[in-house]
Structures are given as structure tokens and as C-alpha cells.
A and B are shown apart, each in its own frame.
Chain A
């Protein structure tokens, strides 16, 4: 981890030095932004840790906790909303036993996220499972996909 962080800090100094880009690269490397990383950058680059936390909590894209192995992103855009996104989300929550506060399963296999709009409104409602876009989703189909993924990860 130390090595990766050193490299990122070096890039930061040599380039324009943009905190958002640094955090994006950190997340790319670790899947989330570990607390240690923030304190490391803070020491190394002489930037208060509060600025990193300020930026990372402002933007929806940054995660301060590790995410599950499978990522399910439900679109909550207007078109998806009127075509029943809420029911999809509730269905997935039931299937994965998730709550409003906790969106990652205890075994770290699934994370359920919501995003404002992925811009695929004409095939609403849309769900993205591990970066693949599924259009015209139904609660039934989503449950099936989750069951398949669960089986795959058990094998």
C-alpha cells in the first residue's frame, strides 16, 4: 500500500496537484479511500486532512468504506422513478437483507447503490450490475440476477 501511495503522491506533485484527481486515483487503486491513505497524503503533501475529507464527503463518487464484491447500481432518474425504480430497490434490499443505513451485505459480497441518472432513460428502469447496463428491469429479473451472482461467488 505504501508504495502505491508514494507513487500517487509523486504524481500529484509533478502534475497540476488536484485533490479530486488524487482521490479518484486512490479509489481506483483500492476500491475505496482508506483512512490511512488520507493521513499519509496529508503528511506527505502538507495539506490538512480536513481538506481531503471535505472533498471526499462532498462528492457522491467517493467511498470511505470498502464496497462489496458485486456492485449493483440502481438508477433513480426521473424516467426510472416513474417506471418503478423504487420497487426494484426495495426488492433488492429484501433479497440482500440490507437496510437504509447499511448498503453492503455482511459477507461483503454485495453493495447496493443508487445513482441519480445514468442517462439511459429510454430503457428505464435501469440497473447496472458490475458495470453492465440492464434495461427494462423488473423486480423478478433482478432477484434472479442476484441469485445467480450469489451462486457464482459460492462456487
Chain B
């Protein structure tokens, strides 16, 4: 044994599961046995970014002479035994090893953007360089003209990963073509890391796991369009990502990959971080620009597009995090390699945040065109607790639902659009039989309604009215023609709103009506089939199961439950506030919901 390496998963998921303590437990356990000295071997410990399967955190890799063993669900108190039996004794602790599902989870994935996430130390630039990092920057400055870079990206077929799927090379070319003398010289490139979609965390994971790839993508993009300044607009809700990005920018500047006269090429480019202040609409590019300028983040009409008139009226390219992180790999490995993945119109891979009621929740990267079935059953391992799949929601609050009978659909920009959903930024939420589709639609709409900036009337007032109708439906007070009204109003809001937020806000409602109309109708009859909508439920105690333990009585905030010890209790329906606290605490399933 010559070389020992320990890698602890420390993305937001890993840290929440106790990654920091695991790493320090390894540190002290190894020091205590004075392993580095005793065995005379190189010994290093790294924190690494997210490798996708956050549900099994803390994940730990033990690499002895490059042979890798992976452990799951590691806690600090388990570290000593791994050190004793595995590192010293040579026998891995078999019951803590990752199981088959960990390998299945990774088997069908093809990692481009995430290829180095979970492998390198995101806080150490040398770690990135050692796996070929900044090779693309060197290649670009040594051998390529800006036009060559644009041609290569166009040839690769890379499309924007932020949602709309606009070809990246075409965007760059348009910005390059704007005459500098007319525009007073300055151009900008902005990295959009304002990942606001609830249920999506691809950008966070990429920045936490491999910030340098994003920086490299920005440098190459800046060179291609002729920008001398760049901004990363990132959510303040991602403190760890901001911290790692700051470190990475400073390290890149020190090595002269950014700053003045990059790698002696005569090209200047520097990057600043702008913290978002918590507004979903700022993911829209014109609103994002307004926010960087320090104003209320309200979108404006397009055209003029930002590539002609963007930040402070200057030509500006805005690219998503994942788009930029693809760039260095395309430059190094070539456009043909990249376009060998994917379908005819959607090239390459896409990162998705697979969440909800699926066994293996986490971050996945798959080739475009993979079927939804493969994602959910092969990678995701199927539905949690073996319940029945009801729908897959993609694209967050701008997206729609896909039903189980459409599982053979190819996941790419065109196919998802055809069934009324979108790829969007990459959130993929799996819903099972216990989820109420009306409630899900209401959830998304209450989000977009709250986030509507208020500039244009159809969005500001239309979303409010839509939400009111949904609210009364879920309260059992819906009117007969409410479904028709939702459809009519929804399509009006879509066609009359100014920006992408309003134009897509009704999608969750329209798509759930299209595929789950019977659930809406059931609500109009005063029933919630999935037993989710509070106002349509009544709670009662099933006497034969009740042991009279008193747990529900203590939990009830309204004092609606009465009963003697060891005797069946009772709920008084007129006092009950339907909070569900009794249902949650009962260990004997003696509380019924109807």
C-alpha cells in the first residue's frame, strides 16, 4: 500500500448529513494510529462535491492505490472501524458498502458536466488542473481565433440549459457581430446562477462540485464574444456555492486564467459575483440585468435582445451555469464527441434533479433522448414504498405533467414540448398515488403568483384569479363551470403576458386539467381522492385499533379529542381544525381520514 486517499461527499446534502464531522473523524483516527508515518504512504483527505445520490449521504470513498471502495450512510462513530478493519486490516467493512442500487444509479448515466463533480476537491484549483482543468483555456488562447470557438460550439449543437434551449453558438455569434465602435467598446458575459425553480438544484451542485468549469466556460465565452467583464448572478440562498465560487475566482486570478493579460495573450477579462436578493423573476434575462444594475428586477419587452442591448445598454450574453460548464469539455474533446450523445435536435447530456417519491433521489446526468422510464425505474430505482406512479412533473412552475402511460417518451426539448411539458432548467419531480394533482397545481400557482413582479396586468391579476379559483376548488366550494373558467383564463394569461414567467405560469394548471380532469371534478363533488386537501377531509378514530394511549389527545392543538386512558378516544368534528396532528402521531393507525 503506497497511497491512501479518502473522499468525503460535502455538498449541501453531505454537510447536512454530517460530512464535516466524518471528515474530522477520519483525520483524528488516522493521526491517532499515526498511519501516514507508520505505513509510509501518501495520505490525503478531500472534501468533494455532490456525486448525485444525496439520499445515501454521507458517502465516503476510500482509495487505496487507486482501488476504490465506497461506503454509504457513514456517521462519525463508524469511522474508527473503517480505519481499523479496512485501512489497517485490509478488509472492507462489507455491511456498510454501497449496495447494488448505488451502481444501478450510476450505470445509465453519462457524465459530462458532472464528470469531475464528486471526484475533485472544489476548493483546490490544483485538483481541477490535475484532471485536465484549464486545458481548454490554454488551447483556446494558443490555437483558436474567436470565430473558431464559435464555430466549434455551433457545430457541437449545444443548446441553453436554462430552459428555453436556444443554441449557444448562435447567441455568441450574434453578440460577436455587434460592432464595437457603435457600442462604445464594452461587452459583458453573465452566468445565470439564479436557480429559482423550486425542486431544482443542478446549478448549485455544479458550482459546489466544480466551480472552475463554470469559470473556464465564462473565460472562453468572453473571448469568443469579445467581453472584458463578466458577472455571476447567484442566489443568496446558496451560501456554500457562493463561498466556493469566491475561492475559485481568486485562485483562477492568481494563476492568471482570469484578470489582465490572460496567459500572455493580451486578452483581459475578470469576473464579479452579484448576489441575488430573492426574486424568482430575476431568472428571466432582462429582469436579471435590471437586478445587476441595482433596480427592481422587472422584465422588459424584447426585442431589443440582450445580445444587442443588455447590461447598461451594452451587448450582453447570458448563459446558464450548466451551459457554461459544458464548454471546456467541448473545446478539449471536440464538437463531434459532444454531438455523438443525444438526439438529432437535442445534443449532449442534461443534468436533472430527480426528486419526490422515487427511491434514489439525487442529481443525475443523462444523454438527451433517454426514456423517462429508464430515468425513473433504472436510475431512480422505482417508486418509494412501491406505491403507484401518478405523474412526473418537469420544468417546475413553468412546466407540466407527464402521465404513466407516456413513460416511453424520449426526454429532449422537442418530445417534452409535444406533450405540454418542458425540459426547463431540469427539475423532475415524481408524484405517487398519495399526491393530489389539484393541490400540486395550486402549489405551483401560489408560487408564481407570489413571484409575479406585477408589471403587466395579465400576469399580476390573472395568476391571482387563477389561484382564487383553485383555492375554492380545494376547499370544496368550487363552482360547476370553474374548470372551463380555469382553461379560458389560463390561456389568456399565457398569450397576453410580457415575459416567460406569465407566459408559462398557467402550464401546471392546464396540464393537470388535461390529464387529471377527473380529480378536479371529484373536488367539485367535495372529495379529494388522494386525501390531501384539508378542508375536504374529516378525521375520526377507529375504535377497534385505538389503544387509548393518549398521544393524539396531547397532540391535538384544538382540544377536540377526549377519552379516558386505555379507552378508545373520540374526535369532536365541530371543534376539529383538521390539522392532521393526531393522524401523524398515532402509532396504531387508529386515526381515519375520509
Contacts and interface: CB of A to CB of B under 8 A. Distances in A.
Nearest to B52: A122
Interface in A120-150: 120-124, 126, 131-135, 139
Contacts of A62: 277
B279 A58 contact: yes
Interface in B541-594: 557, 579-581, 584
Interface in B247-285: 275-280
A123 B54 contact: yes
Contacts of A116: 196, 198, 280, 447, 451
A91 B580 CA distance: 10
A10 interface: no
B54 A120 contact: yes
B238 A119 contact: yes
Contacts of A131: 239
Nearest to A76: B198
A119 B355 contact: no
A86 B509 CA distance: 20
Contacts of B196: 116-117
Contact of B204 (A54, A91, A119, A123): A119
Given A59-B277, A116-B280, A139-B584, A77 B198 contact: yes
A124 B363 CA distance: 14
Contacts of B363: 122
Contact of A82 (B15, B354, B429, B453): B429
A17 B294 contact: yes
B458 interface: no
Contacts of A139: 581, 584
Nearest to B239: A131
Interface string B356-373: 110001110000000000
Nearest to A27: B277
Interface string A73-92: 00011110111000100110
A134 B16 contact: yes
A43 interface: no
Interface string A82-114: 110001001100100000000000000000000
A60 B53 CA distance: 31
B200 interface: yes
B427 A120 contact: no
A19 interface: yes
Given A61-B277, A82-B440, A126 B353 contact: no
Given A116-B280, A119-B201, A87 B429 contact: no
B72 interface: no
Nearest to B197: A117
Contact of B431 (A55, A82, A120): A82
A121 to B, nearest CB: 4
A115 interface: yes
B443 A81 contact: yes
Contact of A123 (B16, B276, B296, B447): B16
Interface string B466-508: 0000000000000000000000000000000000000000000
Interface in A3-42: 17-21, 23-24
A20 B435 CA distance: 39
B286 interface: no
Nearest to B275: A24
A118 interface: yes
Greatest chain B CB density within 10 A among A54, A124, A132 is at A124
Contacts of B431: 82
A21 B440 contact: no
Nearest to B237: A118
A82 B435 contact: yes
Given A18-B293, A90-B579, A126 B16 contact: yes
B195 A119 contact: yes
Given A79-B355, A115-B237, A117-B196, A21 B294 contact: yes
B565 to A, nearest CB: 22
B277 A78 contact: no
Nearest to B585: A140
Greatest chain A CB density within 10 A among B12, B54, B276, B292 is at B12
A55 B294 contact: yes
Given A82-B435, A133-B16, A135-B13, A121 B277 contact: no
Interface string B188-219: 00000001111111001100000000000000
Given A78-B199, A79-B429, A122-B13, A59 B294 contact: no
Nearest to B280: A116
Given A120-B16, A122-B54, A87 B200 contact: no
A55 B357 CA distance: 38
B200 A119 contact: yes
Interface in B406-452: 427, 429, 431, 435, 440, 443-444, 447, 451
A94 B429 CA distance: 29
B296 A82 contact: no
Nearest to B440: A82
B295 interface: yes
A21 to B, nearest CB: 7
Nearest to A134: B16
Interface in B317-372: 353-357, 361-363
B93 interface: no
Contacts of A94: 557, 579
Contact of A78 (B53, B198, B293, B361): B198
A124 B355 CA distance: 9
A33 to B, nearest CB: 12
A54 B454 CA distance: 12
Contact of A121 (B276, B355, B440, B581): B355
B238 to A, nearest CB: 6
A81 to B, nearest CB: 5
B316 to A, nearest CB: 16
A143 to B, nearest CB: 10
19 contacts: A20-B294, A59-B277, A62-B277, A78-B356, A78-B429, A82-B429, A94-B579, A115-B278, A116-B198, A116-B451, A117-B198, A117-B201, A120-B12, A121-B199, A122-B354, A123-B17, A123-B55, A133-B16, A135-B16
Counting from the closest, the 10 A-B pairs by CB-CB distance are A119-B201, A78-B199, A60-B278, A59-B277, A18-B294, A77-B198, A122-B54, A61-B278, A122-B361, A79-B355
Given A17-B294, A24-B277, A78-B355, 18 more contacts: A55-B294, A62-B277, A77-B199, A78-B396, A79-B356, A82-B357, A87-B584, A117-B201, A119-B12, A119-B237, A120-B16, A121-B199, A121-B200, A122-B355, A122-B361, A123-B13, A123-B17, A126-B16
